[in-house]
Amino acid sequence: MTPCLPPLDLQIKNGHVVLPDGITTTDVFISQGRIIGLGRCPDGYGPVAETLDATGLHVCPGIMDTHTHFREPGFTHKEDIESGTRGAVLGGITTVFEMPNTWPLTTTSDALAAKVAASVGRSWSNIAFFAGAMPDNIDTLAWLEQQPGCCGIKLFMGCSTGGMLVGDDPTIKRVLQAGHRRVAVHAEDEPLLHARRPIAEAGCSYGPDVLAHEQWRNAEVAFRATKRLTALAWQTGRPAHILHMTTAEEAAFLANHKPLVTCEVTPQHLTLHGPEVYERLGTLAQMNPPLRERHHVDALWQAVQAGVVETIGSDHAPHTLAEKAQPYPKSPSGMPGVQTLLPVMLTHVNEGRLSLEQLVRLTSTNPARLYGIAHKGQIAPGFDADLTLIDLKAKHTITHTAMANRSGWTPFDGFQATGQPVATIVGGRIAMRDNELAPYPTGTVVQFSPSFASIL
């Protein structure tokens, strides 16, 4: 009797494969959702079921976006898990982390489990969810961060969408003492925001009122919160990750506090700048923390190039065009970004701002290490077959109409991109190829393991 051999599901042929020690042209072999070999297939497998010719393409470890707001439950007229993850795989993203400021808030085990259940059979990418910290759930955080599908705890130090404020140092310290995994932090100083609120209410006398947004939530608002959080992280020994860092001051400061306190930047803060973007886009350019003037953008790039920045996340936070059209400051903060993260950053690769290997570290290798994601973040036998295939020289224009998000717009409308994803492979299955989706979503809930976590 002929033995039943395990299937060889997919062979990716002749691609420029981005490995931990460099780029090499080789084949990748996949079976049952895992990478089983590079260069040649190990013995003992059946015939190849499907071959994907990657000649001329770069094969990257699956790109992750660890900062998204998919608005489900509670605000699904803006976005939901299905549409958000559909945009993710169309943009070459294989794994997303979703934030807790939905309704109900993701601050209990029941709310977290409901999100996990809602993703089953509907998520195009792999997905995990942050649990939110609040003064009244601190005693449960250490347990909550260990629940299936939880990528960690999210802490809001300043007021933003969702009403999850933890603004005072004693309470923040209690949050940091409750658990062990790296805490993701929205760092804006609430006392300063409150004191400076009249700036937002007054608007701007020399241009669109939204120009006051960056003046209200200025660099000192961000820097003061980051300094406070860093001091508390050292006091408690708790690793922390500053999300959407925006200022030159924070970049210089955080360079001296590695590896305990790490940080993220967004493509928006690396690409768009005031005052031009506010004059051009109005309230569509409004987000928290704000898009800032060019000298801050330049400092963020210096931080990326110097290795001060560990991750890039989109802070995908859609609102409808009608909502964004409200006069400032009634207009909500936030903009879509998951589908455009990779094309925008690949354009910067082509401009020489960073290498493709650096981009892979920022969007795949480092997120896997920081958050303890099991079996992801590199192309190697035994790792999950999450892969992003890229045409590094393809030119295209980003448009509103190409966006999958329910709100139907992007701040990058008209952006001339160089470099685009041509295939997104999730768990060994082709989720997107040449901008065409698979018949149905096959993403799974991300698994975590403390043994995979690294403080970098």
| Residues annotated catalytic, as ranges | 315
Bridge partners of residue 11, in order along the sequence: 29, 51
**Read out DSSP for 275-337?**
THHHHHHGGGG--SSPP-BHHHHHHHHHHHHHT---EE---B----HHHHTSPTTTSPP-B--
Bridge partners of residue 152, in order along the sequence: 130
Query: How far apart, in Å, are the Cα atoms of 94 and each of 128, 293, 431, 442?
Result: 12, 32, 9, 11
Which residues lie closer than 8 Å to 135 by C-beta, 6 or more apart?
166, 171
- Lookup: tokens for 117: 């259940």
Bridge partners of residue 262, in order along the sequence: 241
Peptide linkage before 275 cis (omega within 30 of 0)? yes
* Three-state SS at 82: helix
**Spatial separation of the C-alpha atoms in residues 382 and 332, rounded to whole Å:** 44
Handedness of CA 137, 443, 364, 415 (dihedral sign): negative
How many helices and strands, by DSSP H and E, does the chain display? 15, 17
**3-state helix, strand and coil shares in percent for the chain, rounded to the nearest 5:** 30, 25, 45
Per-residue b/e over 40-75, b at no fewer than 16 CB within 10 Å?
ebeeebeebeeebebeebbbbbbbbbbbbbbbbbeb
Nearest to 428 by CA among 167, 62, 174: 62
Backbone angles phi, psi at 350, to 5 degrees: -65, -25
- Lookup: tokens for 288: 């928290």
Alpha helices per DSSP H over 46-92: 81-90
Nearest to 229 by CA among 183, 191, 274, 198: 183
**Spatial separation of the C-alpha atoms in residues 60 and 438, rounded to whole Å:** 20
Look-up: residue for tokens 């290997």?
Answer: 357
